[in-house]
Amino acid sequence: MKIGLQFAMPVELHALPGAKELEPCEIVSGVPFFEIAPHILACAGGVSKVNAAMAAEIFCLKYGVDLILNAGVAGCATDLPIGSLVVASEFVQHDVDTTAVGDPIGLVSTVNQVAFPTWEPERCALLLQRLGFSVVTGRVATGDWFATKGERSAWIRDTFHPMLVEMEGGAIAQVCLRNGVKLVSLKSVSDHLFSDNQADEYFDFGQALENLGRVVLPLAQALQKEAL
């Protein structure tokens, strides 16, 4: 089974043990790809939906992965502690709005759906628990906006009811759907959208990165052993 580990930022990729010292095996469309372990590739595809979609498509078409494991830090719309691990159950895209022509809010054209489920999130959570990690599952909202305290974040919370908000996962989910590739997504809470200290939290998310770095490769290897 071939797995692609997709991060947004190099700092997230470098949280993997030994990843910072690796040389890329190839650079495709400006994105460096690394071999982390046998049949496990990784990249930091960039922040936001277009960058995420491009890197995911490279994983699908060029490398022929069977599964993409999207991992990274995310803002929390609830009260989970910093560093909490969340297996995404599904993604929505909060910045897609064609309601003017009668569509539901968040409907993504062409595929014509609002929610993009991930592959067996409860099973993935159980795998992580067996490995000794504490995790929860929940919906994640994606959009090309760094969510901060205010009316827009409140609207996202009240409209889509996400546990987390970030900038890449929904795009990766859409690409995986269209390519028939499984998607698993694991996020670590870096900051809280409605906290007065959000900026301080985000620029000091060492705990979130540490927790993420400990869990991603063991999860990928456990998924390989499951022979999905």
The domains found in the chain, sorted by start residue, are: 3-225 (3.40.50.1580)
Would you state the pLDDT for residue 228?
60
Cβ contacts of residue 228 below 8 Å, gap of 6+? 1, 66, 67, 119, 182
Task: Please count the other Cβ atoms lying within 10 Å of the Cβ belonging to residue 15.
Answer: 25
Would you state the pLDDT for residue 227?
66
Nearest of 88, 157, 152, 160 to residue 121 by alpha carbon: 88
Residues of the chain with pLDDT under 70: 227-228
- Structure letter (DSSP) for residue 142: E
Would you state the pLDDT for residue 133?
97
**pTM for this entry:** 0.96
| Pairing mode of beta strands 182-192, 85-93 | antiparallel
